[in-house]
Amino acid sequence: TETPDAVADLFDLKKYMSDKARQVDAALDRALPVRHPDRLYQSIRYSLLAPGKRVRPVLAIASCELVGGHEAAAMPVACAVEMLHAMSLMHDDLPCIDNDDFRRGRPSNHRAFDEGTAVLAGDALLSFAFEHVAVGTVGVPAERVLQAISELGSATGTEGLAAGQFVDIECEGKAVDFDVLEYIHQHKTARLMEASAACGAIVGGGGDAEVERLRRYSRCVGLLFQVVDDILDVTKTTEELGKTAGKDLTSGKTTYPKLMGLEKAQQLAQELVLRAEEELSGFDSVKALPLLHLAHYIANRQN
């Protein structure tokens, strides 16, 4: 299908992403073969290897390569961010949190297995992600590996995912203002994307300024991801119902279109792409193509 973007013609992001995703899936498969206890491993593999976009691992690998590192150096952190993402989805779906029966087009982990297994498989995956980076990263100075590990810790804990999810739960059923909405998305979504890019650049040998630029890029992309999600939520429903007006913007969870209107939300998405692009302008323009296209892909995605 044709994208409306002119930049889309210069680089085949689809191929780039599917090539990288294939490498990541093979590495994830090797990292966690089924051992004793079988059912725990099967539960982990069920969620970890389920089909997803692999946006976070691609961010890690592309950032590593952008600063001159090799894909192999970034593979353990790329796998780790997907493990952290997968465990957060498993726990998010639990009856005590979002109580979702489906994930990635299949029954959620606790539906396919059981609640206790889903909790423990998520816990095991959380621990293993750190172990995997510590043990599996080769050819990278130890202080850089340590930096990456601490980055992953802050991205998932009380300064990251867990905090974002906590505030999200706390705000359930309440009207939320722009700052709180941004806090939730910044922590639940953008922070792990930021860590993915930062870790990739760190193990790739990037300098402080490069790591910072990639952090700013991925924070924009992370927020963009959510703004687009909210926009799709409105436009998809409108399409499905064949209506001319948008979905009821006054009920349910707070979204960008509800807070600022659909048009302003679309403007915000455009601004975020531009800001992401600006951050990349500090890099070699050819080497930055994957991340440039990734930002456009996220802006234009339809699911």
Tell me whether residue 40 or residue 94 sits nearer to ligand GRG (CB atom): 94
Q: Could you give the C-alpha distances from 85 to 17, 145, 210, in angstroms and in order?
A: 17, 20, 24
Q: Shortest Cβ contact with ligand GRG: which residue?
A: 52
The CB-of-164 to ligand GRG minimum distance in angstroms stands at 6
Shortest Å distance, C-beta 156 to ligand GRG: 4
* C-beta atoms surrounding 36 within 10 Å: 7
- Judge whether 129 and 152 are in contact, CB under 8 Å: yes
Give dist(CA 252, CA 258) in Å, integer: 10
Between 59 and 273, name the residue whose CB sits nearer to ligand GRG. 59
Q: Which two tokens stand for residue 131?
A: 């172990």
Question: Closer CB to ligand GRG, residue 140 or residue 152?
Answer: 152
Least gap, CB of 240 to ligand GRG (angstroms):
20
Shortest Cβ 238–ligand GRG spacing (Å): 21
Distances in Å between the Cα of 270 and the Cα atoms of 120, 178, 190, 226 are 41, 18, 17, 13
Give the Cα separation of 16 and 168 in Å (integer): 34
Least distance in angstroms from the C-beta of 104 to ligand GRG: 5
Label the pairing between strands 106-107 and 102-103: antiparallel
Spatial contact of 130 and 80, defined as CB atoms under 8 Å apart: yes
CB of 215 to ligand GRG, least distance (A): 18
Tell me the C-alpha to C-alpha distance, in Å, between residue 167 and each of 174, 233, 247.
11, 21, 25
HSE, side-chain direction, 13 A CA sphere, residue 222: 27
Query: Closest separation between CB of residue 224 and ligand GRG, Å?
Result: 11
Closest to ligand GRG by CB, 275 or 301: 301
C-alpha angle 44-119-181 in degrees, rounded to nearest 5? 100
When the beta carbons of 158 and 237 are compared against ligand GRG, the nearer one is 158
Which of 7/162 has CB closer to ligand GRG?
Answer: 162
Here the tokens at position 17 are 């992403």
Shortest Å, Cβ 189 to ligand GRG:
4
Eight-class DSSP state of 8? G
- Specify the residue, 161 or 234, whose C-beta has the smaller distance to ligand GRG: 161
Instruction: From residue 237, give the alpha-carbon distance in Å to each of 5, 79, 241, 272.
Output: 24, 34, 6, 24
The residue assigned the tokens 């064949």 is 242
Q: Could you list the residues that contact ligand GRG (CB under 6 A)?
A: 52-53, 55, 84, 88-89, 91-92, 97, 104, 126, 156, 161-162, 165, 188-189
* Nearest residue (CB) to ligand GRG, 52 versus 76: 52
